[in-house]
Amino acid sequence: MSRILFTGARIMTMDPERQDCFVGDLLVEKDRIASISEKSGSIEGEQGDRIIDGSGLLLMPGLINTHGHAAMVLLRGYADDLPLQQWLEEKIWPVEANLSGDDIYWGTLLAICEMLQGGTTTFTDMYFFMERAAEAAVEGKIRAVLSRGLAGITDSDEQALREAVAFQKDWHGAADGRISVTFGPHAPYTCPPDYLRRVIEEAVKTESALQIHLAETAREVEECRAEYGCTPVEHLQRLGLFEQNVIAAHCVHLSEGDIAILAEHGVGVSHNPGSNLKLGSGIAPLAQLLEAGVPVGLGTDGAASNNNLDLLEEIRLAALLAKGSTGKPTVVPAKRALQLATVEGAALLGLDGVGMLREGYKADLIAFNLRTPQATPLFDAAAYVVYAAATADISFVIVDGEIAVDGGRLVALDEEKILSECRRRAKKLTGSDL
């Protein structure tokens, strides 16, 4: 479909150069936003256009998930209510050792179903068999930033690095630019210094960003101090990791000095409040990070530790936890929380022309149905999305100019087939009776 026209919709652009919210028209042509008007009925449709009455809709940019492990949906609910290290070492890693490329493909498709229906138009993934994850992202017609996860303490660490290099060469910029590739060293505690230096070298050669888990637990910080005499943030600074573009996931346990280092180097932080709470890891100092000027986006982490991929939930948690932990209700107001999940998430991932509704930008947008009890009355659109909206309220999702969700239903993916296949694979992997 070459042109999609929304008429008379409430539009929240997240564009600092426009008013916060207005009623008007929005035209999509091919993969771009062609026109936005602050006057309803001012953009005329043409023969063959899909014209959508937006009188009961709220349009905004698609949500951007800056950290996750998509195919871990296959392990949703398998290992709940455990601390991180026990969760990883006793439950998750043993099952992951048996994952196949087909498991990753189907699991990623399942995650894409959930994310699209929840309004996520871009997701970030760090896992393995990433060619299959990329194939799923192409089939699901979603935007993705993908990393082959790397650990330097396994028998396959060299193979993994070779795979990461090949994956970057083969897939970066694929699917008309919808696929981006970064390097993904798992964490300081799974990547010894020499291995991390080699990963950095490969990232420098290809001018690639890096994703890494950082300062997620108090135990991680304690062990880093014992082994290297410094915090994980200081350790990575000494190794030169922060000379590159870095997306650091979690960053829960930070000193004032750590925050200053992240700010100085422009290190992006992916805040994952739901996963951090469920694993008992703690609450990241979001207000302090923002005050220091650290770039921040929001992420769900994997569904094995969350247990969903609902970015609306993460937006709400981020705002509420910042208020509750500081005792300041004005900290991280609704619009600021939405910025983290849209325009600032795009900047964190290095995505140009994404994250706002602006002429010439990519047509990645979502539409909420406002004819619901929780949207009535609607005094403030941003407050509605952050504090009241649910994923079930999302009527339309458009990625790269193509409708992915129409009337709440997936367009390109066979949801029932994906659900059935993933149940079968999850049962085989875990030996559980599903």
Report the CATH superfamily, name and number, of domain 3-62+360-410.
Urease, subunit C, domain 1 (2.30.40.10)
Count Cα neighbours of 119 within 13 Å in the Cβ-side half-sphere.
Answer: 30
The answer to whether 164 and 184 are in contact (CB under 8 A) is: yes
Tens of pLDDT, residue by residue over 158-204, are: 999 999 999 999 999 999 999 999 999 999 999 999 999 999 999 99
Strand runs labelled E in 38-129: 50-53, 57-61, 63-65, 120-127
- How far CA 153 is from CA of 162, 203, 348, 403, in Å, comes to 15, 20, 28, 43
pLDDT of 129 > 60? The answer is: yes
Confidence of residue 20 (pLDDT cuts 50, 70, 90): confident
Tens of pLDDT, residue by residue over 388-428, are: 999 999 999 999 999 999 999 999 999 999 999 999 999 99
Tens of pLDDT, residue by residue over 348-388, are: 999 999 999 999 999 999 999 999 999 999 999 999 999 99
Domains 3-62+360-410 and 63-348 in one fold:
no
Tens of pLDDT, residue by residue over 419-433, are: 999 999 999 999 877
What's the pLDDT score for residue 84? 85
Confidence of residue 1 (pLDDT cuts 50, 70, 90): low
**How many Å is the maximal CA-CA distance in the chain?**
69
Tens of pLDDT, residue by residue over 73-111, are: 999 999 899 888 898 899 999 999 999 999 999 999 999
DSSP H stretches of helix in 240-395: 256-265, 273-278, 286-291, 311-326, 334-341, 343-348, 381-387
Neighbouring C-beta atoms of residue 380, cutoff 10 Å: 14
Read off φ and ψ for residue 267, nearest 5 degrees: -70, 130
pLDDT of 434 > 70? The answer is: no
Query: What residue ranges do the domains of the chain occupy?
Result: 3-62+360-410, 63-348
- Give the pairing type, strands 268-271 and 210-214: unpaired
Distance between CA atoms of 151 and 140, rounded to whole angstroms? 28
Dihedral sign computed on CA atoms, order 350, 260, 341, 210: positive
**143-158: b or e for each residue (b if 16 or more CB lie within 10 Å)?**
bbbbbbbbbbeeeebe
pTM of the model: 0.97
Higher pLDDT, 134 or 48: 134
| Mean model confidence pLDDT for the chain | 96
Confidence of residue 19 (pLDDT cuts 50, 70, 90): confident
Dihedral sign computed on CA atoms, order 229, 220, 298, 100: positive
Q: How many residues are present in the chain?
A: 434
Report the CATH superfamily, name and number, of domain 63-348.
Metal-dependent hydrolases (3.20.20.140)
> If you average pLDDT over residues 225-243, what whole number do you get?
98
Give counts: helices (H), strands (E), the chain. 16, 17
